[in-house]
Structure 1
Amino acid sequence: MVQVSYPGVYIQEKSSGVRTITGVATSIAAFFGRATTGPLRSAVRCLGYPDFVRTFGAPHPQSELAWAVRQFFDNGGTDCYVVRLANAAARRAEVTLGNDAGTPVLRARAKVEGLWGNGLRLEVDYATPNPGETFNLRVLLETGGTVTASETHVNLSMDPAAARFAPSFVSQGSTLIDIELDAGLDLNAGLMAAGYSEARRPLGGNDAAVQTVFDDLINPAAGTRRHSFELSVDGSAWALVNLSTLAAVPATAAAIATELQTRINAAVGALVPARQVAVAITQDAAADNQFFLRITANTAGGDNAAVRVRRAASNDLAASLLLGADNGGVEIARRSEFRPVPSGSLLRFEDGAGGLARLNDFTGLAQDAITQITIGAEPPLALNLQTTAAPTDLWYLDARPGDSPSGHLDGVREKLQRIASAISAAPGSRYRAELQGSYQLAILAKDGTLNETPAAIAFSGAGAATLNAALQLNTRQYALGTAGTSTFASGGQDGNDGGMPDFADYVGDPVQKTGFFALDTVDIFNLMILPADLEMPDATRQQLWGPASIYCAARRAFLLIDPPANWVDAAGLPAIVQNSSQVNDLRATVVKDHAAVFFPRLRFNDRGTIRSAGPTGAIAGLIARTDASRGVWKAPAGTEADLRGIAGLEVKLTDLENGVLNKLGANCLRVFPSGFVNWGARTLDGSDDLGSEWKYIPIRRLALFIEESLFRGTQWVVFEPNDEPLWAKIRLNVGVFMNGLFRQGAFQGSTPDQAYFVKCDAETTTQADRNLGIVNIEVGFAPLKPAEFVVITIQQIAGDLQ
């Protein structure tokens, strides 16, 4: 109501009372049966046969499910749900991956149960922007020796607070596997107390040398000053650390470390007060007594315990110190030791507990101390690692071109790159090599089996023992199941398809939403198909029709039934014609007006082999095609109801045999000159002896369509005032819907009043009903019955007798 307050014109909108009732879908099918892969006991939507193959794989050898779904789409179906069934023996393929210390860390499981999971392969590497913290996981599915699917999950972390925490990130994003932490793993009982960032530039062998390096960088006699870098602790914002005001560098390494610690914590604390670091400059005898700078996170400041350094926009110091993962430094985060071991063979720079003892050993090697490498049975490969003038110069001296920011002290990374390049370039070699990060050398087989592992990898030369001690041999890939032989994998369990689903697997549980009740999660389905399982006894299968039809009736759906096996005898003749009581036996077990049976089975070409399958998948597709072209009120039978994508029928019926079965309410498939057609449209309530008003499939399905459409389209009525204005709106809206069907030819009659009625008034809704909150709507329609018997009378004209 408009509230007027000033002289003028007021405009308001008023509802017309028209609420559109939209007709629901009529031919969404639901299939149940065994598949080679795919989610178990849940309804998966498929909008084409490729969708089915992507989700459920190749046809299961003991099930007709795949063929029924294919025939559905071949014959005009466009939308269906598939529920994969298996008995309790079905299980997923599994394997547990271990870390460098041999501790089980991650349990990888195939996404769903089945033998298919035994073909899953895993590849792990540390070739990430933070190689001391994260890892990459590649998942491959091999089928018949060919990779048919693959996924790559990058920059995974073992830190539960990280956005890419491996168990949750992979499990949510992968269509092939789930991963979880091993049950015995305690992420809070790590080997490392805290993470750190270590600069890999050797700073000299005594305090004076360390002071000189920092003096020359921060306060050079000439050239650009290098006094700044950016630092983040435990994922905090980047803080600019500026040493430009350090006019006098302290005289000892320890004093320099103290000064750096004070300035870093002042910069970080200004942004995040809780974040703190400790700085140390320590000497290592194995690295030619060189000093190295390390910045360590304070675990009290954060759970992640990681330090990251990046270059400053100007006057950068990080590149000169080889500080930060991007600059040749090493950054190890807490919990990184719980990462699974990379696949392939590695020259590891870590010592297994987050330390860099091995890398410091590399630093102290002479350049001529390594002369060759032998991989497996391949010929020894000569290595020339001398990059400076003297063969006895140590590894940390480099020959990088130009004026090196690190003072030509980046030789360790240079030598490892040389080894990788020599292996990858070796003619005829089955191996390649790459650096994962700056210092981890991976030696990988180019081909071979998943368990491909070099018999041995050995360096030669005076320093060979140092490198050989850091070698870690592993298989080319990890395998889910028991096929893998990696020493870093354990607890393999093969996947299993399980046996034939039994009666209980089909009927399911309404609480657990299994079996037929898996469709409870589906908004609507109209047709149910239960393709045969070749291991299921026919007697057991026939017991399924009753519960299936009851479920269909509750959901306003229709059950399509394949003919029992005993309807055809050993000679391939229609035994059902001679023993027609079997139709009545079937009828007695189902909700008759919500089910129909079709006979005989179909033959189809399976890659050159003729096989047979039940007809209901093709019939469901035919129904969908007929609904789309003519409407749900048109019988899916007749000469235009041809069955496509088949090679023939199991039995060729005669007209007389067809006549016997038709009167019993069994629909026959026939071979006519026009092709293979469906020549029946009766429900199991369609026996001539029953005289049911639900004799014909199109009438039953039209009623279900109207019921479901009105059920959904009148929800707005609930809680409206129950009086004549509401009743008038109901008559208007339901009448518009029914008139639309009349105009499409869904009903008998030449005028609407002959075709349907909608009644909702004081006569249908009494005062007692109104007191109880009830509004009654009566809708009637005059259905079109199919012209099942066409009788043509012919009379001869006698002619002129005069």
Structure 2
Amino acid sequence: MHMGHPGVYIEELPSSVRTISAVTTSVTAFVGHTRRGPLNQPVRITSFADFERRFGGLTAQSAVSYAVHQFFGNGGTVAVVVRVAAAGTGEEARVTLESTEGHNACPVMTVHAKEPGVWGSRLRLAVDHDTRHPDETFNLRVLDTDGSTRETFTGLSMDPDHGRHVETVVNAGSALVRVDVVGEGRPDPSGTVSKPFAEELPNLAVDLTVKIGDVEREFTLHDPDRDGEPPRTVTELALLLERKLRALPDAPGKRAFAGAEVTAFGRRLQVVAGSTDPDDTVRFIGECANDLGLEATVNPPVFPLSGGVDGDPPGPRDVIGDEAAKTGLQALRDVDDVNLLSLPELAAYESTEDMITVISAAQALCRERRIFLLVDAPGSWVDVDSARAGLNAFDPVRDDHAALYFPQVQLTDPLTGRLRSFPPSGAIAGVCARTDAERGVWKAPAGTEARLAGVHSLSVRLTDRENALLGPLGVNCLRALPVVGPVVWGARTLRGADALGSEWKYVPVRRLALHVEESLYRGLQWVVFEPNNEQLWQQIRLDASAWLNTLFRQGAFKGTTPREAYFVKCDKDTTTDADIERGVVNVLVGIAPAKPAEFVVVKIQQMAGQFEI
């Protein structure tokens, strides 16, 4: 700064405090079977509409689909879905397009649905040559069975050196299909394509016979008395022919001609029935049609994909997946922000041993990635006695990174309108997200505020006495309370049984610790390769304390002062000379979380013997 005269000068200096940002707390991963979607790839979604687009929506065979629906219905905002199918099952729908340009018909391009499943057999392809270079390039449209256009790719070329090479453009831009070029030449257009018309159009005052499907009609192409001047260009001819076709009477109960479409490209016409039924092929019959060149290439109005097969529901090994291939649960290793994990299919396993095997693998991943697992009680637990008897099977997975919820929730199935039981983990994850947003991760996702939205009832109606039997064993009960309705009425981890005496007894304490760990882990990345000295240690203490003080003021910790709520120690006592030589800096952080008030004792004393003075 140049100071040229006496006065007050202001200079802005960068702050020495590096802000630690709080990470997410309620992004929930769902792993299991869905109708469609990429296999073993984590996909982030922000609404159930997203799930419908990417994974096909609700289906009776997918517990995950209902869990995601309940998650968003109870306040969830972000989910990560991993579609898993049994190994070696499932096939993609496909169709091979042919070319007749200059030679006999030969296959030139195979189009595959991008993901396995029956859903791909609903796709239809429409091809036309209505481009700037109609003799070289083509357009490709991907349609649904209702005729709606899903994707459009224009100006495609079969030349690998072309800037719009079909494989490059479609495979990079389509969410529905992928393309393999298998021959030379471009695919024929869909529908009926005329031969090229000469510069001067022929006499159009002729009678034509057209057949679409099994409906046949005869009409006059151009009537001078009714239609006025004859068309002078191929485009005008296309408009006239389309108008004439649409005016033809349909057969009873069948609209064969009403949707007819005629397009001009170059000197040719392309005629389609405007239908996604491959049988609705437009055919012009007779000598006049031949004279006009309308008996040329005849193809279906669309090319349907077929052969799609859904994958079988995944078994325990498929859900666990392979760490090297990153399949199943292991696909979540590539995702940074996942805080909760739901595996709703496990509740339907007939073998408790299989269920425990998957839970064990999931817990290993959760410990490594700082994720909290929401465990659904087995569907075979139909009352309190069966729950208490089956609880011993969970002894090998009594982990503080997981919580068990019982019983199942009953909702009206949107697909059938009937009441059905569902594993509760999807709804529980939504309650966690809602509680985190409204109160904070340190608030137990339980109590009268933790109402289960959309839940009609519970598969087992628990009394206070029955709740008192299960709660001390580490089972979080769902209760139906008067006036309030179905709620979550427990907040213990699987290590929360009274007999275990774990310091990680409560869900909010464990989740708060995971939140603090992950936030500090990310917020202190700048420390790497900094000089390991007292200056660095002081900066670490300043940054971490500032962030922890923010949590303290929000009510995350107990105590009336910061000293009682947390501490950060990073000095020569935690980081010795030997540590410095090894390039290590040790930071010791302590927090005093506020634990839930599980038992509220109200003492009422009657006042007697009062007298007035």
The alignment's TM-score, normalised by the length of structure 2, stands at: 0.89
Partner of residue 38, structure 1: 37
Amino acid at match of 2:279: N
Q: Work out whether 1:601 is the aligned partner of 2:419.
A: no
Deviations 1:336-394 (Å, cap 9, x if unpaired)?
Answer: xx121111112233xxxxxxxxx57x97x9748x832211252322345999xxxxxxx
Distance 1:421 1:27 in 2: 56
Question: Where do residues 269-668 of structure 1 align in structure 2 (5 Å cutoff)?
Answer: 338-349=185-196, 367=203, 371-376=206-211, 377-384=215-222, 413=234, 417=238, 420=241, 423-424=244-245, 426-428=247-249, 430-431=256-257, 432=260, 434-447=262-275, 449-454=277-282, 456-461=283-288, 466-467=291-292, 470-481=295-306, 494-532=307-345, 536-539=349-352, 540-568=354-382, 573-579=383-389, 582-589=390-397, 592-607=399-414, 608-668=417-477
Amino acid at match of 1:458: I
Gaps of 5+ in 2: 251-255
Deviations 1:698-722 (Å, cap 9, x if unpaired)?
Answer: 1111111111111111111112221
Contact kept, 8 Å, 2:209 with 2:218, in 1: the verdict is: yes
Contact kept, 8 Å, 1:542 with 1:564, in 2: the verdict is: no
Distance 1:425 1:554, change over 3 A: closer
Distance 2:202 2:12 in 1: 91
Instruction: Give 2:117's match in structure 1, choosing from 114, 119, 124.
Output: 114
Distance 1:773 1:727 in 2: 13
Contact kept, 8 Å, 1:40 with 1:86, in 2: the verdict is: yes
Distance 1:435 1:728, change over 3 A: closer
Distance 2:446 2:80 in 1: 24
Q: Work out whether 1:97 is the aligned partner of 2:97.
A: yes
In the TM superposition, residue 468 of structure 1 has moved relative to its aligned partner by 6.0
Distance 1:609 1:585 in 2: 33
Instruction: Give 1:691's match in structure 2, choosing from 476, 482, 501.
Output: 501
Distance 2:347 2:577 in 1: 59
In the TM superposition, residue 416 of structure 1 has moved relative to its aligned partner by 5.2
Contact kept, 8 Å, 2:347 with 2:379, in 1: the verdict is: no
In the TM superposition, residue 528 of structure 1 has moved relative to its aligned partner by 0.2
Distance 1:725 1:149 in 2: 62
Contact kept, 8 Å, 1:506 with 1:515, in 2: the verdict is: yes
Distance 1:423 1:31 in 2: 54
Contact kept, 8 Å, 1:459 with 1:468, in 2: the verdict is: no
Contact kept, 8 Å, 1:33 with 1:533, in 2: the verdict is: no
Distance 1:655 1:27, change over 3 A: same
Distance 2:347 2:464 in 1: 31
Contact kept, 8 Å, 1:131 with 1:436, in 2: the verdict is: no
Question: Where do residues 57-206 of structure 1 align in structure 2 (5 Å cutoff)?
Answer: 57-87=56-86, 88-100=88-100, 101-142=104-145, 146-147=146-147, 150-182=150-182, 185=183, 187=184
**Cα RMSD (Å):** 2.9
Partner of residue 253, structure 2: none
Contact kept, 8 Å, 2:19 with 2:543, in 1: the verdict is: yes
Distance 2:366 2:223 in 1: 76
Distance 2:263 2:553 in 1: 74
Q: Tell me how many residue pairs correspond in the alignment.
A: 589
Amino acid at match of 1:420: L
Deviations 1:132-187 (Å, cap 9, x if unpaired)?
Answer: 12222121122xxx3566222222222222222222212222222111201xx2x4
Partner of residue 216, structure 1: none
Distance 1:472 1:752, change over 3 A: same
Distance 2:30 2:236 in 1: 62
In the TM superposition, residue 798 of structure 1 has moved relative to its aligned partner by 5.5
Contact kept, 8 Å, 2:51 with 2:57, in 1: the verdict is: no
Quick check: 23-32 or 526-535, which moved more?
Answer: 526-535
Contact kept, 8 Å, 2:125 with 2:142, in 1: the verdict is: yes
Amino acid at match of 2:34: A
SS at the partner of 1:109? strand
Distance 1:468 1:128, change over 3 A: closer
Distance 2:346 2:540 in 1: 48
Amino acid at match of 1:380: E
Distance 2:387 2:560 in 1: 41
Instruction: Give 1:762's match in structure 2, choosing from 572, 596, 611.
Output: 572
Distance 2:598 2:338 in 1: 28
Distance 1:86 1:697 in 2: 31
Amino acid at match of 2:396: A
Deviations 1:284-329 (Å, cap 9, x if unpaired)?
Answer: xxxxxxxxxxxxxxxxxxxxxxxxxxxxxxxxxxxxxxxxxxxxxx
Question: Where do residues 730-745 of structure 1 align in structure 2 (5 Å cutoff)?
Answer: 730-745=540-555
Q: Percent identity?
A: 44
SS at the partner of 1:565? coil
Distance 2:560 2:115 in 1: 57
Amino acid at match of 1:347: S
Contact kept, 8 Å, 1:93 with 1:110, in 2: the verdict is: yes
Partner of residue 671, structure 1: 480
Distance 1:780 1:625 in 2: 27
Distance 1:418 1:44 in 2: 45
Instruction: Return the index of the structure with the highest Cα Rg.
Output: 1
Contact kept, 8 Å, 1:156 with 1:165, in 2: the verdict is: yes
Deviations 1:566-611 (Å, cap 9, x if unpaired)?
Answer: 221xxxx3333552xx323213135x10000000000011232111
Contact kept, 8 Å, 2:193 with 2:297, in 1: the verdict is: yes
In the TM superposition, residue 417 of structure 1 has moved relative to its aligned partner by 4.9
SS at the partner of 2:590? strand
In the TM superposition, residue 536 of structure 1 has moved relative to its aligned partner by 4.7
Distance 1:676 1:559 in 2: 22
Distance 1:534 1:11, change over 3 A: closer
Amino acid at match of 1:111: K
Amino acid at match of 1:372: D
SS at the partner of 2:314? coil
In the TM superposition, residue 58 of structure 1 has moved relative to its aligned partner by 2.4
Contact kept, 8 Å, 2:495 with 2:504, in 1: the verdict is: yes
Partner of residue 779, structure 1: 589
Contact kept, 8 Å, 2:471 with 2:477, in 1: the verdict is: yes
Contact kept, 8 Å, 2:409 with 2:458, in 1: the verdict is: yes
Contact kept, 8 Å, 1:538 with 1:565, in 2: the verdict is: no
Contact kept, 8 Å, 1:685 with 1:694, in 2: the verdict is: yes
Contact kept, 8 Å, 1:371 with 1:459, in 2: the verdict is: no
Contact kept, 8 Å, 2:372 with 2:511, in 1: the verdict is: yes
SS at the partner of 1:378? strand
